[in-house]
């Protein structure tokens, strides 16, 4: 990953962590005074981050075609997250298109294909991997896998970093995120749990949040990314 792409992704993760209600350590986004793209985030402490997402072309809003709202209290779907990651990383190769059978109705189909072609997603129904489940909400475990693949983390450290992810297929990805310093767990100060059934918790090398594992959807509290 190029330095420019890493910085861009770093900023995206910062914005995402805000959504997950995790402290963001990066400097606040620089947004021109008076900019107010969305009408439903006024007064939010995260408004500048939302503006940054829009200015960077990572979000377009949540109510097309007007797109004058961000829907900061909504949950993030897998389709929406595919669009965010594809725009942030600049993936262009769709791998021939139609990589999954269940996204033909989704406005995110092209983004999903690009994410699949980049091997950031393998689908949602192993071992077949012919479905993406675009309307399902993103879980901490799924986000762990997305981020590990996108950023190329390989080191699992000593493994078994958390006691509550032993039964999840994402345990290896969770361990890699922890080894990279992206997540520290979800139950401070002990931090011995990845909370496989909670919203995301973690940080981009100590700055942005990334989920760990589990079936509970990511709640965007300023967050979810809307489209």
Which residue has better confidence, 209 or 43?
43
Give 34: exposed, middle or buried? Use CB within 10 Å, 0-12, 13-18, 19+.
Answer: exposed
Please give the radius of gyration of the chain, using alpha carbons only, rounded to the nearest integer: 16
Determine the average pLDDT of the residues in 167-193: 88
pTM beyond 0.85: no
Give the separation between CA 59 and CA 47, rounded to whole angstroms: 13
Contact (Cβ atoms closer than 8 angstroms) between residue 15 and residue 204: no
pLDDT in tens, 137-164: 988 889 899 989 988 999 999 989 999 9
Structure tokens at 120: 């950031």
Which residue has better confidence, 66 or 33?
66
CA angle (141 as vertex; 73, 64 as ends), nearest 5: 35
Give the separation between CA 105 and CA 17, rounded to whole angstroms: 29
Structure tokens at 200: 């995301």
Give the separation between CA 55 and CA 31, rounded to whole angstroms: 8
Neighbours of 93 (CB within 10 A): 10
Give the separation between CA 136 and CA 121, rounded to whole angstroms: 14
Which residue has better confidence, 185 or 96?
96
Give the separation between CA 57 and CA 54, rounded to whole angstroms: 5
φ/ψ (deg, to 5) at 80? -65, -45
Per-residue pLDDT at 157: 93
Which residue has better confidence, 16 or 194?
194
Give the separation between CA 125 and CA 133, rounded to whole angstroms: 8
Q: With the C-alpha atoms ordered 89, 90, 95, 101, is the resulting torsion angle positive or negative? A: positive
Give the separation between CA 176 and CA 157, rounded to whole angstroms: 7
Residue that the structure tokens 């958390």 belong to: 162
């Amino acid at each position: 990953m190029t330095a420019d792409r890493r910085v861009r992704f770093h900023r995206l993760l910062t914005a995402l962590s805000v959504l997950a209600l995790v402290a963001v350590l990066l400097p606040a986004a620089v947004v021109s005074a008076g900019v107010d793209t969305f009408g439903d985030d006024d007064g939010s402490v995260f408004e500048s981050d939302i503006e940054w997402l829009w200015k960077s072309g990572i979000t377009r809003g949540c109510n097309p075609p007007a797109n004058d709202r961000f829907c900061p209290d909504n949950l993030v779907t897998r389709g929406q997250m595919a669009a965010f990651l594809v725009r942030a990383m600049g993936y262009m190769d769709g791998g021939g298109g139609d990589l999954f059978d269940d996204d033909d109705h989704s406005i995110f189909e092209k983004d999903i294909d690009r994410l699949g072609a980049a091997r950031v997603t393998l689908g949602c129904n192993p071992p077949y991997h012919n479905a993406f489940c675009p309307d399902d909400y993103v879980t901490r475990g799924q986000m762990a896998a997305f981020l590990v693949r996108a950023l190329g983390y390989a080191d699992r450290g000593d493994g078994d970093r958390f006691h509550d992810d032993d039964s999840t297929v994402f345990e290896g990805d969770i361990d890699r995120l922890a080894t990279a310093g992206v997540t520290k767990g979800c139950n401070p100060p002990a931090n011995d749990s990845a909370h496989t059934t909670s919203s995301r918790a973690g940080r981009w090398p100590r700055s942005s949040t990334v989920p760990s594992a589990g079936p509970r959807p990511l709640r965007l509290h300023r967050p979810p990314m809307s489209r």
